[in-house]
Amino acid sequence: MTTQPAPTPEPPANIGPAAAHEIDALAALMRAVIEPLGYYNARAKRAELMKYDADGLRTLTADDPAAVLVARDGARLVGFCVSRYDDATVWLSWFGTASDARGRGIGAALLAALGRTIPGRGAHKVWCDSRVENVESKAVLERAGFVRVATLTNHWFGQDFYLWEWYPNGTGAV
Ligand SMILES: CC(C)(COP(=O)(O)OP(=O)(O)OC[C@H]1O[C@@H](n2cnc3c(N)ncnc32)[C@H](O)[C@@H]1OP(=O)(O)O)[C@@H](O)C(=O)NCCC(=O)NCCS
């Protein structure tokens, strides 16, 4: 009896660097994801939304196309992963999925795509923060192999954060 190979699972979305024509839609998606988030206070959200308007995103992509990844479902943007090179590390600034597309593996796929950009960007690790109450983010980061390295209390905008790190080889050994 011959056994059929298991079918390759459908990727949850088409992920790649944001194209110039997608930047306005991306800024709108980031606003739609960040604005209603209960985990951040008003000051924090205002500051983040100012950083990641269309002009801010255009500057990031011009400097480093891998800094702004988007997930597409057909022509529609359903997720994003924004990061920046920082002295041989990559700081993951934000990742998010449109509210009606969550739970389909898009967040996990964005983190995996970010990981694949790391060697080409001359970096050896990714690091990021998350609000300590953000259970969805914590779950996805842990599943992607991020390790929690610190808790910062009363930190950015007076709120509590976890710091996380991730290495391409999983260990940090060089
Ligand atoms: C965090 C976020 C990006 C995850 O995106 P996603 O596309 O839903 O992610 P995935 O489908 O890959 O994984 C979803 C996971 O969320 C977790 N999750 C969802 N709701 C949860 C809850 N209430 N409690 C704990 N975990 C939860 C589950 O572990 C789930 O994994 P599973 O499918 O194995 O059960 C999304 O929730 C989001 O955009 N949140 C708002 C923005 C944000 O907080 N970004 C992170 C800033 S650090």
pLDDT, tens digit, 9 for 90 and up, residues 91-102: 999 999 999 999
Domains of the chain: 14-125 (3.40.630.30)
State the pTM of this model.
Answer: 0.93
For the stretch 150-169, pLDDT in tens is 999 999 999 999 999 999 98
User: What region, left, alpha or beta, does residue 39 occupy, with left being phi > 0 and alpha being psi -120 to 50 degrees?
Assistant: alpha
Indicate if ligand 1 lies below 6 Å from the C-beta of 78: no
Alpha-carbon gap, residue 60 to 172, rounded angstroms: 27
Q: What is the CA radius of gyration of the chain?
A: 17
pLDDT class of 15 with cuts at 50, 70, 90: very high
Both tokens of residue 13?
């979305």
Report the nearest atom of ligand 1 relative to the CA of 106. Answer: 7
